[in-house]
């Protein structure tokens, strides 16, 4: 494919440990104009910076498939935040009680949740509110996951300079839902501002995968919570959005919302979370990016 100059855009969908050699090969050939890479871009932050630099020097637009940004509920509340409809953000949560389908290649990485599931939620908080100053992370192994891992059930606290706080719970156990107990499986987000509240429900972890996302909200002066009119679901609709970002940036010559340059900060946030686990303290994002 890299020998074919008529192929302008590469959509790379391989495990993260196999992705860097393909990106390097694309840079060496120089035939592609853009690459949409899976997330995580790599398993190593330093290597991610190297790949971003290589693509920049080769004139290749490198984007990362952070598809949660294009979930209908995530997009809808992002627009509300930008319009100021909720007022200054005060507190936000993403609460995942879902059982992912782990992939066999993950056993090679020594990890389960942080770089596969949490990367969505950490990136989503950045998408909504920008970069936090600090992060604290606490983890424990998942009782159901059989391959060695250090990060099964993960909890994060994000501290923002303006006083806002965000909490992410990535509970991949959710109780013995596969072992005979009743299940309560869901992904919910909640954003509280000075002037309003918005609550979303994402259908990814439900059956079927194409379950639609939903959002309700209430603002000062509303007599009751209102239901947003959303169209579509995370799977498969969000994936049209990520490639659409790349094609639009190529066509217009403008910035790509999912640029790997920006995504480096999402990877840095994960790196900070991993350091937080090792050192049992909150870690400033500046410690990683500096």
Q: What is the DSSP letter of 38?
A: P
Predicted pLDDT of residue 205: 81
Per-residue model confidence (pLDDT) at position 228: 96
Please state, in angstroms and rounded to a whole number, the distance separating the CA atoms of residues 33 and 62. Answer: 9
pLDDT score at 65: 97
Q: Which H/E stretch holds residue 242? A: helix 237-252
Q: Which domain holds residue 229?
A: 68-234
- Within a domain: residue 255? no
pLDDT (0 to 100) of residue 192: 98
For residue range 64-103, what is the model confidence (pLDDT) as tens digits? 999 999 999 999 999 999 999 999 999 999 999 999 989 9
Average pLDDT value for the chain: 96
Residue 189's nearest CA partner among 38, 281, 81 is 81
Model pLDDT for residues 142-187, shown as the tens digit of each residue? 999 999 999 999 999 999 999 999 999 999 999 999 999 999 999 9
Domain for residue 81, yes or no?
yes
Is residue 59 in a domain?
no
181: how many CB neighbours lie within 10 A of its CB?
Answer: 10
**In a domain? residue 159:** yes
The number of folded domains in the chain is 1
Residue 88 included in any domain: yes
Residue 71: predicted pLDDT: 96
β-strand 61-64 against 89-97: which pairing, if any? unpaired
Helices H / strands E in the chain, number of each: 7, 12
**What is the C-alpha separation between 230 and 212, in angstroms, rounded?**
8
34-69 per-position pLDDT tens digit:
999 999 999 999 999 999 999 999 999 999 999 999
pLDDT at residue number 206:
81
pLDDT band of residue 290 (cuts 50, 70, 90) is confident
**Residue 184: inside a domain:** yes
Give pTM, 2 decimals: 0.96
DSSP letters of 195-230?
SEEEEEEE-TTSSSTTPPPEEEEEETT-SS-EE---
37 closest CA partner among 56, 53, 59, 18: 18
Look-up of token digits 């987000």:
189
Specify if 73 maps to a domain: yes
pLDDT given for residue 180 in this prediction: 95
The CATH number given to whatever domain includes residue 165 is: 3.30.360.10
- Does any domain span residue 268? no
Q: What is the pLDDT of residues 233-287, one digit of tens each?
A: 988 889 999 999 999 999 999 999 999 999 999 999 999 999 999 999 999 999 9
């Amino acid at each position: 494919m890299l020998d074919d100059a008529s192929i302008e855009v590469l959509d790379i969908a391989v495990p993260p440990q196999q992705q860097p050699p393909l990106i390097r090969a694309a840079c060496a050939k120089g035939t592609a104009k853009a690459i949409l890479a899976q997330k995580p871009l790599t398993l190593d932050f330093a290597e991610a910076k190297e790949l971003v630099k290589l693509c920049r020097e080769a004139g290749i637009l490198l984007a990362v498939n952070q598809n949660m940004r294009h979930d209908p509920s995530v997009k809808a509340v992002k627009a509300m935040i930008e319009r100021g409809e909720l007022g200054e953000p005060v507190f936000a949560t993403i609460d995942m009680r879902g059982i992912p389908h782990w992939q066999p290649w993950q056993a090679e990485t020594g990890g389960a949740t942080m770089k596969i599931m949490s990367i969505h939620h950490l990136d989503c908080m950045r998408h909504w509110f920008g970069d936090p100053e600090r992060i604290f992370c606490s983890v424990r192994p998942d009782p159901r996951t059989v391959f060695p891992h250090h990060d099964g059930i993960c909890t994060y606290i994000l501290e923002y300079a303006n006083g806002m706080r965000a909490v992410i719970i990535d509970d991949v156990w959710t109780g013995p839902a596969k072992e005979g107990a009743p299940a309560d499986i869901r992904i919910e987000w909640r954003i509280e501002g000075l002037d309003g509240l918005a609550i979303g429900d994402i259908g990814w972890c439900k059956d079927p995968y194409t379950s639609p996302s939903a959002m309700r909200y209430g603002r000062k002066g509303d007599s009751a919570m209102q239901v947003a009119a959303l169209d579509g679901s995370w799977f498969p609709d969000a994936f049209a959005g990520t490639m659409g970002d790349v094609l639009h940036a190529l066509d217009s010559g403008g910035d790509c919302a999912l640029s790997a340059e920006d995504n480096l900060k999402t990877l840095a946030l994960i790196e900070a979370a991993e350091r937080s686990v090792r050192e049992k303290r909150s870690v400033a994002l500046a410690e990683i990016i500096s």
